[in-house]
Copies of this chain bind each other. A is one copy, B any other.
Amino acid sequence: MVTPLVKYFQFNKRKITEPPGTLIYVGEEKTEKVGITVFTFDETNYQERKVDDLNEIVIEKDNPTITWINIDGIHDTKIIEAIGNKFNLHPLILEDIMNSEQRIKGEELEDSIFLVLKMIYYRPNTKNIAIEQISIIFGSNFVISFQECPGDIFDLIRDRIRTGKGRFRKAGADFLAYSLIDTIVDNYFIILESFGDRIEEIENDLITNPVPETLQIIQTLKREIIILRKSVSPLREVINNLERAESELINKSTKIYLRDVYDHIVNVIDTEELFRDLISGNLDIYLSSLSRKMNEIMKVLTIIATIFIPLTFISGVYGMNFSHMPELDWTWGYPLILLVMGGVGIVMLIYFWRKKWM
């Protein structure tokens, strides 16, 4: 079945009646408690804890220790507001964070950078994709990341902090932010891989056994690719701007890594375009295979009908009850007429043979 459209696009009417800057969560309804995980680390140490009260977290401006606050859930107005107060964020930024329909964007704030990205998952059991909005705010020594629901996508990064693997512990907050982005972008390749697998499946089906369902699978893929494009295309510009930004928040050494992410994004977009071409090619094959099948059926009908209709007519003629039908009394009338019928049939078969209908 084609995934219902409404899954991907929810427009919350209630929102519209409120003045801009009002904090209202836009997305699937949720009641789970929002989890807040805090990592503090420098080159030598790291600390990891779950907090309930944001006031527990103290970030000193000139402290080289980096604090990463990860918030699992964007539906709790109070927590978002507290973050806003603590880090001095404009109400519109907070509104963007809480709106799971927010467009991908990057904004340089006074002393931090704000990013909205989309994580895309492929759910093998329901065979469709899910979108999750990830917002990231990072300053000179802190990173705040907002996930729509608790998930393990950043576990790899947590492990690297814990083990001190990679450049994490030595590098700044900008490198941590980059790593979060990189994780999200790497995930797109998994989606692309699943697309590739499904396109291959379709292609095999089209050749061996084209069925009506194929069209629906093609349509589902087509729209999932559209959704992927919508989530990735604007990101190219965002990362490009980040790389070129003259902000002091991004070190030169991190920019090389941002360039690398940019390359990956371009690669995703290219592959996505390629997949679109492939899918529309498959649609052509499918439609023309319908036509071809029709032709085949028509040919059989035509051959059978055009051979037997005239023969039936001949038999009909000699089934008439006229008193004076001299042929009927000939001794060889019956075999003769059978011969004539056979002849007519053979002539027609030759005709069809020549027309390459057989």
List residues of A whose CB falls within 8 A of some B CB: 1-2, 4-6, 9, 11, 13, 15-17, 19-22, 90, 92, 95-96, 101-103, 105, 156, 160, 165-168, 179, 182, 186-187, 189-190, 192-193, 196-197, 199-200, 203, 207, 209, 212, 215-216, 219, 222-223, 226-227, 230, 256-257, 259-260, 263, 266-267, 270-271, 274, 277-278, 281, 283-302, 304-306, 308-313, 315-325, 327-334, 337-338, 341, 355-357
Contact = CB atoms under 8 A, between A and B. Distances in A.
A323 B196 CA distance: 69
A79 to B, nearest CB: 22
A227 B250 CA distance: 36
Contacts of A256: 90, 92
Q: What is the copy number of this chain in the assembly? A: 5
Contacts of A263: 96, 102-103, 105
A166 B222 contact: no
A302 B320 CA distance: 25
Q: Which of A227, A304, A330 has the largest number of chain B CB atoms within 10 A? A: A304
Given A260-B92, A301-B302, A334-B325, A19 B167 contact: yes
12 contacts: A4-B203, A9-B274, A13-B190, A95-B260, A286-B288, A315-B316, A315-B317, A319-B319, A319-B321, A320-B337, A321-B321, A324-B331
A142 B230 CA distance: 40
Contacts of A277: 222-223, 226
